[in-house]
Structures are given as C-alpha cells and as structure tokens.
Amino acid sequence: MRLDKYLADRGIGTRSEVKEIVRKGRVSVNGTVVKDSGAAVSEADSVSVDGKALGGIAELTKKHWFMLNKPAGTVSANSDERDATVIDIFGKEGLKGLFTVGRLDKDTEGLLLVCDDGEMSHYLLSPSRSVEKTYFARVDGLLATDAAERLSNGIEFKDFVSRPAKLEILSEDTDNNTCEVLVTVCEGRFHEVKRLIAAIGGNVTYLKRIAFGPLKLDAELKPGEYRTLTDEEIRALKAAVGKE
C-alpha cells in the first residue's frame, strides 16, 4: 500500500494534505523519516506521524462480521425514508461500508449476517454454492400430505422454479388448523419461504431465520441485539463456500 493512501485511510488528511505532511518530514516508517509519499508500506511496518504511532495496515484491511437477531419492523437496507434499517442498529460501531448478507423481509425475524466483506458475501449468496438457510415458521393451515416431497422436487411458479427445499413439520394443531414447521432453502428469492408454504396449502403468520449455512442463531441474542462472529465461525463460513 502507498504511504499516502495508508495515511489518508487512517484519517490523517486528504491525499493532498498527507503528501504535504510527508514532504515536511513529519512521518516515520520503522523509526526512519520518509519524505516520499509514494513509498510502499506493508503490514510489517510501523508508521508514526509527529512521533505518534498509528495502527497497523492489517487493522485497516480487517473485515468485520456480525450476527444480528433481526427484529421485525426493520428493513434490510442501508437507508430508508420510512422505516428503521438493519444498518441503523450498527451506528455505534462507527464502521463504514457495512451491509447485510442477503435480506430478510420487514416482518421476518432472526439470523442476519452483516459485514463489510464483499467477496465472501458474494460467495455465500451465490446459487452455485448452495448455502442453506433454515427458517422456523408458524402456519395457518395443515399442509398437504405430499408437501415435503413437493418441496424437494421444486415448485414451479410463474417467474421461477424453486430449487429443492426441505420441510420438517414440528407440530400440528388440528383443532385450530395450524402447524409449525422448519423450511430449509438454498437460494434467496423474494418472499420465497412464504411462497413455498402457500404452494403446499398454508399461510405463514410468523417467520424467523434460525440458521445460515453452518451458523445457528445465538440463543443469547434478543431481537435487535448482535455480536461479532468468532474466528471459528468465520472459518466455518469460508469452509462452507470452499474458501478455507
């Protein structure tokens, strides 16, 4: 990385301002004054301005990953004129460039990954990687007896044919004509889970994502709470898309 870019990324000033700072001999690399703003610096170098050490380059390039228990009523967007957004929740982190890995409907709760790692996000959402997402749903209506088989074979809609999905019926209440199910999909079509359930005879009244690939929603997270992913969890995500 160029020295002037590193200093600008550190908030020392604009590229033109840091060039002047360097020219005046106010910057040292590994204890030696450097006056060439185009000099290359690496993760192994220690950079100081006016004798004050700055953080390492590795910290600048570090990717940030969070697990959020998305609350109902928030939208999966960076900004919205009417509704609170998922990214609003992360305002106190003071990080630029955060975005959601995929989307959850406004009324859907549960596990949502938020990061600033565009490459990994692309892999996790790519249909070719077939990363599974599991949802818990409460449903009005008792599902067709061949519902699981139909989902596993794919459902044909007007605009697409769903990829094979998995259905597990957790409970049925015949008196109230309701049931609770788990649905696992490996794509992220708009309203897909709700549309799949409707195609097999039900109507989703509550939806919560409980797993994304190898990660399960942390039971300690209340709606609206989040935490940083552990190194182990990030490695598991990378392994899920073949990027170990």
Catalytic residues: 105
CB-based burial label for 63 (10 Å; 0-12, 13-18, 19+):
middle
Query: For residue 32, what are the contacts with CB-CB under 8 A and spacing of at least 6?
Result: none
Q: Where are the beta strands (DSSP E) in 103-202?
A: 109-115, 133-140, 166-173, 178-185
Q: Distance between alpha carbon 214 and the CA centroid of its chain, in Å?
A: 14
Q: Check if the beta carbon of residue 67 is closer than 8 Å to that of residue 169.
A: no
> What is the DSSP pairing of strand 203-212 with strand 109-115?
parallel
